Amino acid sequence: MPEFSGSELPFGRVRSTPWRRARAERMANQGPAAGTAKRHGWRRSPADEQLLDFAARFGALTVRHAAKYCYRGVFETARRRVAFMAGAGLLERSDNLAWAGTVVYPTMAGLTAIRTPGHPELRFRVPGEERMLHRLLVAETALAMLARGAARGFEVVSERQFRALERARDDGESAHRYAELVGVRTTARTPGEQVVHPSFDDTGRPRWWAIPLDNGQALHWPDFVVVGGGLLRAVEVEITPKERWRLHAVLRGYRTAIRCGHIDQVLWCVTPDVQMQLEGARGPDGWIDGLLQEMGLLPPGPPDWTVKGRPMVVRPIAAVDEGLVYALSQRVLVASMRSSYRQWRQWRRVWENSGTALDFDAWLAVPGTVTHLKSLR
């Protein structure tokens, strides 16, 4: 049997490569300052900072969202940069939901890394999978609005930021200062200029980012708020119908906030069931009004959304990311038309090649279509 000296053992030191050295440096330099100095194995870029900011604001993002909104649509760049940040301890990754792909969320170090004076301090929280669809739809809707409104100076403030601001024990001063920081017009600069007035809870505390309900005894949190032109526009993303009494209380709170000059407008991005709750539907004997008409937020009858300036606006939710389109469709399709993500993608290819003018869900509902699709191999 051959004998080896210690330096000649075949299981000796692993050969060093640039990739291995960089990975070792990232592992050795984890924490809020990771990627900000030499010999960290990577260098944090403005796009990386933006991804950390978005993930912190909304709690979670997919790598596909990161590619679209932070890395100019290049998925491979997003995947690689996310790997760097995960290796440096700034992000966590989850691959538990096939339709979502890789979901990322910030660690405590990641939250600390982007902390800015004057901005709310966000808490670390592992996002639950049971509400992941709603969370990602909110993030996608908000990021799309932010991208469209960036040139006009629009800002988006998330529910996580609201809660951090409104839980401060300072009689609403932090929330007020942040409102001014992001461009909310709290004082008139010219005579007659529209300004934002906060709502008040039952203790008399001003609430800039929450909607008091039940005479101020409870608070409702919008999914996010768009700050534009100095005014606040709340956005609600609803994919599940609420109990009538709960939705009625929320609408009543918004009606009060609109009348007192707190909220300028509320945009509802909803599924068909929620849309029917809000604006009504056509019945056998004419239009059946929804809660918006009952509460005087819309005139009776079918809504005319071409009229500008309504205090409440309802729009069908329109997911863009393929995984979100799938997960959302599984909520609205009848059970016999549902499928696995892999099967759904195959069916989508058949639909795209069919040349039909129908949208995908309507095409599936044509008698015989699902039976034919299930017979394909």
The confidence band for 27, taking pLDDT boundaries of 50, 70 and 90, is: confident
- Give the burial class of 179: count Cβ atoms within 10 A of its Cβ; 0-12 exposed, 13-18 middle, 19 or more buried: buried
The confidence band for 152, taking pLDDT boundaries of 50, 70 and 90, is: confident
Q: Look up residue 93 and give its amino acid.
A: R
Nearest partner of 295 among 356, 249, 229, judged by Cα = 249
> Which domains are seen in the chain, by residue range?
18-114 (1.10.10.10), 134-316 (no CATH), 333-375 (no CATH)
Q: What is the mean pLDDT of residues 123-152?
A: 92
Q: What is the pLDDT of residues 177-203, one digit of tens each?
A: 999 999 999 998 888 899 999 999 999
Predicted confidence (pLDDT) at residue 355 exceeds the cutoff of 80: yes
Q: What is the pLDDT of residues 255-312, one digit of tens each?
A: 999 999 999 999 999 999 999 999 999 999 899 999 999 999 999 999 999 988 899 9
Please report the pLDDT score of residue 293 as a whole number: 96
Please report the pLDDT score of residue 292 as a whole number: 96
Predicted confidence (pLDDT) at residue 6 exceeds the cutoff of 70: no
DSSP symbol at 321: S
Nearest partner of 51 among 74, 23, 21, 28, judged by Cα = 74
Q: What is the mean pLDDT of residues 105-109?
A: 96
Predicted confidence (pLDDT) at residue 64 exceeds the cutoff of 70: yes
Please report the pLDDT score of residue 10 as a whole number: 54
Please report the pLDDT score of residue 14 as a whole number: 63
Tell which phi-psi region holds residue 214, choosing left (phi > 0), alpha (psi between -120 and 50) or beta.
left
- Give the burial class of 169: count Cβ atoms within 10 A of its Cβ; 0-12 exposed, 13-18 middle, 19 or more buried: exposed
Nearest partner of 222 among 21, 212, 230, judged by Cα = 212
Nearest partner of 327 among 185, 130, 166, 161, judged by Cα = 130
- Give the burial class of 134: count Cβ atoms within 10 A of its Cβ; 0-12 exposed, 13-18 middle, 19 or more buried: middle
Out of 19-33, 39-53, 60-74, give the one with best mean pLDDT. 60-74
Please report the pLDDT score of residue 11 as a whole number: 56
The confidence band for 7, taking pLDDT boundaries of 50, 70 and 90, is: low
Given the structure tokens 């929804």, which residue do they identify? 290
Please report the pLDDT score of residue 351 as a whole number: 95
For the full predicted model, state whether its pTM sits above 0.85. yes
**Pairwise CA distance, residues 342 & 98, whole Å:** 9
Query: What is the gyration radius of the CA atoms in the chain, in angstroms?
Result: 25
Percent of the chain surpassing pLDDT 70? 96
Given the structure tokens 């007035």, which residue do they identify? 197
**Pairwise CA distance, residues 83 & 95, whole Å:** 13
Two tokens, residue 56: 């912190």
Q: What is the mean pLDDT of residues 77-89?
A: 95
